[in-house]
Amino acid sequence: MNKQLRIGSGIGIGIVLLLGVCLLTDCKGGKKAPQEDLEVDVKDKEAILQDIRQAEKIFQALPSPLESAMLIKSAGARFEEKLLNPVSAVKNYVTNKAMALNLGIYTCDLSFASLYEQTQLLIDYMNAAKKMADGLGILKAIEQEDIDRLEENINNSEVIMDIVSQTFMNSNSYLEDNGQPATAAIVLTGGWIEGLYISTQLVDMNDFNGNKLVGRIIDQKLSIDILINLLNGSKGNAAVDEIILEVTRLKNVFDKIKIDTTPVRPEYDPESKSTVLKSEIKTDMTPEVFMELSEIVKEIRNSFVI
C-alpha cells in the first residue's frame, strides 16, 4: 500500500485503539462498562499494531527550488532576469492551484536571484512568494521579519540561503502538517518545472555537445518518476489530475533519453571524510529530443504563470 508519509501515526494508533476498545465494549455510551470489558485482548492489539506497521510510508523527495537553482548555477549558466516570472503577475493568481504553482515558481526565481546576488530582485521575489503563501493561508511561512533580515544581510549569501531554505520549509511543512499534501505537491511541481524551464532556455544550441547544463537537464529524467509518484499520492484532486496529464507528456519525452549507469561502488574518502559513490554514466539525448523537451517545458510553464 503506497501512502504518502505525512500523518502522525501515533495519533492514528490512538484512534484505532480507541475505536477498537469501543467496538469490543459494544460502545455502551453512558453506562460505565465493567473494567474487564475495557481491556483489549493483547493478541487483538498486536494484530492492530501489525496492520499499522505494514502500512508502507514513502517520501518522494523532489529537488527543492533552492537545489534546482544551485544546479543551474553550478553548470556555469548565466543569469537572465527575463526568464523569471515577473513579480507584477502576482495579482493574476487567485485560485489555490495558481497560487501553489507560483509559490514554487517564485521560490525558484528568488533562489536563482539570490545565487546570482541580484539583491533588489531577491527582495521583490521574496515579497511575491510571501503573497502566494499568505493567499494559501500558510501561517508564518514568510514573515516581515524574514524580509527585514534579508535586507539586513543582503551581502551575506550564507544567511540569504538559510532564509530561503527556512521559508520554503515553513511552507511545505505547514501544508503537510495541515492535511494539504496536494497543495504541497503542487508547490514542489511549480518549483521543479521553473528550474527545468530556466535550464532549458539557457542552453546554447551552438554548444550542445558536452554542455554541462544539458547534463543537468538529462539528470532530471531521474526525478520525473518521483514527481509523478508524488502527484499520484493526491490523485483525485482536480488540480493535481490536470498537472499529472501535463507532467506525463513531459515523461514521454524524457523516456526517449537513454541513461546507462555502471554498478555503483561506494568508496570511503578519508580526506573529505565522506563516501564517494563511484559509477560511470552514459547518456544519449539528441538535439531534436532536447528541442521537443524544451518546447513542452515552456508550454507547461507558461500555462502555470498565465
Partner 1 sequence: MRSVKTILLPAILLIALTGYVNAQCKAFAKRECLPKLISYTHDGNYHAAILVEGEEAELYKTFYSDMDYRVSIVGDEKLPDIEFRVLDSNKNVLYSNKDKNYSNTWDFKLQSSQQLKFIIKVPSATRSGQTPVNGCVAIMFGFKLKR
Q: Does 127 bind partner 1 (CB under 8 A)?
A: no
Q: Total binding residues for partner 1 by CB under 8 A?
A: 74
* Inter-axis angle of helices 181-202 and 96-115, nearest 10: 50
Options 1, 8, 34, 236; binder of partner 1; rule CB under 8 A: 8
Q: How far is the CB of 289 from partner 1 (least distance, A)?
A: 18
Q: Does 210 bind partner 1 (CB under 8 A)?
A: no
* Inter-axis angle of helices 212-219 and 65-74, nearest 10: 150
Q: Which residues from 255-294 bind partner 1, rule CB under 8 A?
A: 261, 263-264, 266, 272-281
Binding mask 50-69 for partner 1 (x = CB under 8 A): --xx--xxxxxxxxxxxx--
Beta bridge partners of 281: 261
Q: Does 9 bind partner 1 (CB under 8 A)?
A: yes
Q: How far is the CB of 254 from partner 1 (least distance, A)?
A: 12
27 Cβ neighbours under 8 A, 6+ residues apart: none
Contact at 8 Å (CB) between 186 and 101? yes
CA distance 90 to 126: 12
Is the Cβ of residue 205 or residue 222 nearer to partner 1 in the bound state?
222
Q: Which residues from 147-206 bind partner 1, rule CB under 8 A?
A: 158, 161-162, 164-169, 172-173, 176-178
Beta bridge partners of 2: 56
Task: Fill in the amino acid letter for 264.
Answer: V
Binding mask 33-52 for partner 1 (x = CB under 8 A): ---------x--xx--x--x
CA distance 108 to 91: 19
Return the C-alpha cell found at 10: 501515533
Residue 236's region, left for phi above 0, alpha for psi from -120 to 50, else beta, is left
Q: Does 228 bind partner 1 (CB under 8 A)?
A: no
Is the Cβ of residue 7 or residue 83 nearer to partner 1 in the bound state?
7
Count of CB atoms situated within 10 Å of the CB of 14 = 11
Q: How far is the CB of 135 from partner 1 (least distance, A)?
A: 20
Q: Which residues from 84-123 bind partner 1, rule CB under 8 A?
A: none
